[in-house]
Amino acid sequence: MTDGETGSRGVPAGDRYTAVVEMDRINHVETIYKCALVVMLLVVIFSLGQALYFMMTDKDDDKRTVWALTRRIGLSLVLIGMVAFGIWMGWLHPHDIGQ
């Protein structure tokens, strides 16, 4: 191909490799982001279970249950923010049940 010719995707032949590498990088970021969301959700669930355990075992005036629930609320807000940011960046695609 000469400099003026384009590839099958309409991208100039010299820029095709750069476009492929860029798409791989974007897909890699999406995968890492989705894994981070799952880990964050598991941490929120763990914190909720921890609060339940502290509530059942602590008999005195201990604040461990309150702190575990406070952490869970904070982590939940971070998780909601991460989901909103992922939708804004185009990494997450919300859809209806039938789609």
pLDDT tens for 43-83 read 999 999 999 999 899 887 788 889 999 999 999 999 999 99
Reported as a single tens digit per residue, the pLDDT across 18-34 is 655 566 666 788 889 99
CA-derived radius of gyration, the chain: 23
Count CA atoms closer than 13 A to 99's CA, side-chain side. Answer: 4
Give dist(CA 33, CA 25) in Å, integer: 12
What's the total number of domains in the chain? 1
Tokens 């490799």 found at: 17
pTM attached to this predicted model: 0.68
- 65 located within any domain: yes
Give the per-residue pLDDT at 50: 93
Give dist(CA 53, CA 81) in Å, integer: 27
- 58 located within any domain: yes
Strand partners, 6: 12
Domain that holds residue 42: 13-89
- 36 located within any domain: yes
- 94 located within any domain: no
- 38 located within any domain: yes
- Confidence band (pLDDT; 50, 70, 90) for 92? confident
Give dist(CA 79, CA 62) in Å, integer: 28
